[in-house]
Structure 1
């Protein structure tokens, strides 16, 4: 369904009223229209069935910047979310839009691979409840031993709960102490079957991690700051589902990755639809690495990041003088 220009104001009013909980007076001030117009637009939204947030997300897919990014990066779909004027966090709307984009991609019988982190868990928390038949949610990487918010198992099971789906946790640590131990555990029939099952996913949801001192792999204890600095010096550019990637989007040849229990990069890349969601401004380099490696088909991001990404993409394509 294409949103006609005349309908955009209706979708915007519905988005602010239903998604953000603004009053009609606040919506009127935000859109610079009268309160009577807001009431009329909300009534029309209810009458035409466009009050659902999922249809309003089309506003962000039809943005000119989103279309330019799709062309420049050869992605299936991009949603560019304007900075929020109704929250102390300018990127607060990104998980809201992403949750509804994700719900729109889920189909009956879907097998979904889910990574972890604050962004993924926030998306799960924003998701509506659904009851689709035959949906399975699969954990893409091993778990963390110490208590940690946004753990892989928590993200997987919360999304499964929202979808009334079957959740499959990966019952192994994310990182082992030695490469031999990790190889032996990956060879165990139960773990091998779980890892092999990731290849059957038709949809994946993940964000991209940084390789700086505030990286989630440092905060969760998977690697210490010194070890990550060494990985950075060796070419690390980002983190995908717990795995370190280089600037080409390939798994970095390093001991950390060899001690990992997680989907490999080729398996992730083979999943037909790969929804990547990025909120933080410091994730341009890891996002570009993931895009270079073909790890993304669908992308949700904020306006500032979208502009920076497009600028870099157009510079890279410009002929050298």
Structure 2
């Protein structure tokens, strides 16, 4: 079954007309000629309005149904890693980073979480994949839900994280959204303690601690594409120390080796993120995939921190085929 969501913008302008045309066509089942008649515009303009809505991302398509090969992979991953929830998106042949597939399955999960009524506080990590999920979320309003960042939102030089998603979710979902207004990596453990004692910062941190659902990405540690170093959240020398200690995968600033054992370095005490024991409360669901990610994802899965995994078909196959650690 196809589920089509069309975002209706509040302004009575060309964007609003485009959204209305798309709604009539995709949801109402009207032909483009019928849309033209309903909106009292030429047929050519109706076609352009619908195309414009597609290009602007106002039309989001979700498909409810079962795909045999993906379901089999989901079952294998659930059994192997003790997951309560797993979704595998069909391969779209996108290349090394399947943002369209991951963004779509992540957006559907987010929408269901917002509409389910069970979550009052949802925590979010950051990264390119989560940004893709949020950008594909249909515009709506969920005033009863609060979203909160699960880790510091600035780089070492106090620049904005290019893949922060909190402001984006506030715009897409009409929710209260709280940023952790500090760098991800601090100069010392003492600085971290001082900041956590500050009014406002401690309130955001406490909200992150109380999140019943946490949606996160998974980062690589090996190679030049290690996400935290590439986004300047940590320094190359700090990453090298983690690599030398056997680091393989990362989630919310916590690093793990291939067996899922946490890597402790001098950096660990300086990161502005929830403590590892705090992460074991609530449900944590990762959205991750791509050619560079299987080993990193497997490392985090072996830690047994995750309640769920949303990934793509190629990554799921790679995870199933990877030999066990050691």
Q: Tell me the TM-score normalized by structure 2.
A: 0.73
CA shift in 2, pair 1:241/1:43, >3 Å: closer
Listed as ranges, the matches of 1:1-321 within 5 Å are 11=1, 14=2, 53-56=61-64, 59=67, 63-85=71-93, 87=94, 91=98, 92-106=100-114, 107-108=116-117, 110-144=120-154, 145-151=158-164, 155-212=165-222, 213-249=224-260, 251-272=262-283, 274-312=284-322, 315-316=323-324
Q: After alignment, is 225-234 or 100-109 more displaced? A: 100-109
CA shift in 2, pair 1:167/1:290, >3 Å: same
Q: Which runs of 5+ in 2 are unaligned?
A: 6-24, 31-58
Distance 1:262 1:72 in 2: 28
Contact residue 250 and residue 265 of structure 1 kept, 8 A: no
Contact residue 136 and residue 160 of structure 1 kept, 8 A: no
Distance 1:180 1:243 in 2: 19
* Secondary structure of the corresponding residue to residue 143 of structure 1: coil
Superposed CA deviations along residues 2-58 of structure 1, whole A, max 9, x for unmatched, are: xxxxxxxxx4xx48xx69xxxxxxxxxxxxxxxxxxxxxx999969xxx98445265
Q: Name the counterpart of 1:26.
A: none
Alignment root-mean-square deviation, CA: 3.1
Distance 1:250 1:165 in 2: 36
Aligned length: 272
Superposed CA deviations along residues 265-320 of structure 1, whole A, max 9, x for unmatched, are: 22222123x221112221122211211222222211111211121223xx549xx9
Contact residue 66 and residue 78 of structure 1 kept, 8 A: yes
Distance 2:306 2:277 in 1: 13
* Secondary structure of the corresponding residue to residue 290 of structure 1: helix
Contact residue 217 and residue 223 of structure 1 kept, 8 A: yes
Contact residue 103 and residue 132 of structure 2 kept, 8 A: yes
Distance 2:276 2:170 in 1: 23
CA shift in 2, pair 1:90/1:83, >3 Å: farther
Deviation at 1:102, TM superposition (A): 2.0
Distance 1:44 1:134 in 2: 27
Distance 1:43 1:158 in 2: 25
CA shift in 2, pair 1:148/1:156, >3 Å: closer
Q: After alignment, is 292-301 or 115-124 more displaced? A: 292-301
Superposed CA deviations along residues 98-127 of structure 1, whole A, max 9, x for unmatched, are: 211221123335210000011111111111
Q: Which has the higher helix share?
A: 1
